[in-house]
Amino acid sequence: MRRFPDDAACADHLARKRWPKGFRCPVCPSEKGWKLDAKPWTWECAACHRQTSVTSGTIMHRTHLPLRTWFLASHLVATHSNGISALQLQTQAGIGSYKTAWFLLHRLRKSMVAPDRDALAGVIEVDESSIPFRTQHEPVAGGQGRSPIGKLAIAGAVEVYDDGSPGRIRLSTIPDFKRPTLHGFVQRVSLPGSMISTDGNSGYDGVPDRLHHAQVIGKMPAHVFMPWIHRVFSNLKRWGLGTFHGFRKHYLQAYLDEFAFRWNRRKWRGASFETLLGIGVRIGPMPLKVLVTGG
């Protein structure tokens, strides 16, 4: 709050992130322009005179919220170990409606996946799981008779370093547990030459260009020899129940992205606020309609 005392300070910060080498016009090749005094956080191109708001074409496109609210929400989401629910954010940031807080958080989740992020490498624990979801009006718990509880398939991967500690993770919703689906997940999240470590599910056999280490150790529970992916799955499920009272089906991938974002930056919480803003100004807008209908 001290570092960004007003929206002008936030806008200057965003401008430095968006145009690190100085203003660039988004529609013509010009690299010259000036900041307008009359319009908040808007630059005008010296060549074509097009006016560009620092937020236009970013995840904050056409926002009606104060930039300070975006910054506060980004900080809370990036640094709280459990993130924040829309209801908590609405209260803490003084946002007028629940839906506005909810939409803001979803746009931040969109900013949690760097478009050019690298695939995992080295030894990677891979497993699949199912996660309960809730319907719009019914919680996960309860559900006598006509149960609202459904299950969604997910796949997860964790890098394991030489000293046995965990590195980065990837999480994805998947349509089923079939072999082509599992192969597709492994190929998306790992570099060729990686060593895939699984609990012996033959669905992971034969992924091209990956080594496969299937550990089938009698009746020993899988969490003993694949500790990290099981830790990830159990933390993820606990977070879903604790913070959101269960995930909603349509938005599950967004929650998986949020969980992975914080896990992957758990040692650099302070820097993750800057990462979130940095990705947010690089990716395009996400209109409410696209979020709700999926496109």
**Please, what is the minimum distance in Å from the beta carbon of residue 115 to Zn ion?**
24
H-state helical runs in 111-251: 179-189, 222-225, 227-244
**Please, what is the minimum distance in Å from the beta carbon of residue 203 to Zn ion?**
53
Q: DSSP assignment of 137-154, as one string? A: SS-SS---SS---EEEEE
Residue type, 115: P
Nearer to Zn ion, 14 or 25 (CB): 25
Cα–Cα distance for residue pair 159/242, rounded to 1 Å: 26
Measure Cα distances from 6 to 11, 66, 108 in Å: 9, 9, 20
**Please, what is the minimum distance in Å from the beta carbon of residue 21 to Zn ion?**
16
Could you tell me how many helices (H) and strands (E) the chain has, helices first?
10, 9
Nearer to Zn ion, 23 or 102 (CB): 23
**Please, what is the minimum distance in Å from the beta carbon of residue 198 to Zn ion?**
53
Nearer to Zn ion, 30 or 42 (CB): 30
Burial 211-250 (b: 16+ CB within 10 A, else e): ebeeeeeeeeebeeebebbbbbbeebbebbeebbebbeee
Helix (H, G, I), strand (E, B) or coil at 64: coil
Which range, of 41-49, 140-148, 178-186, 267-275, touches Zn ion by CB under 5 A? 41-49
Site for Zn ion contains 220 (CB under 5 A): no
Cα–Cα distance for residue pair 241/139, rounded to 1 Å: 10
Binding positions for Zn ion, 42-61, rule CB under 5 A = 45, 47-48, 50
6, 8, 16, 28: residue in contact with Zn ion (rule CB under 5 A) = 28
**Please, what is the minimum distance in Å from the beta carbon of residue 50 to Zn ion?**
5
**Which x/- pattern, by CB under 5 A, does the window 6-25 give for Zn ion?**
-------------------x
Helix (H, G, I), strand (E, B) or coil at 172: strand
- Residues in the interface with Zn ion (CB under 5 A) total 7
**Please, what is the minimum distance in Å from the beta carbon of residue 30 to Zn ion?**
4
17, 24, 30, 42: residue in contact with Zn ion (rule CB under 5 A) = 30
Residues forming contacts to Zn ion in the complex (CB under 5 A) are: 25, 28, 30, 45, 47-48, 50
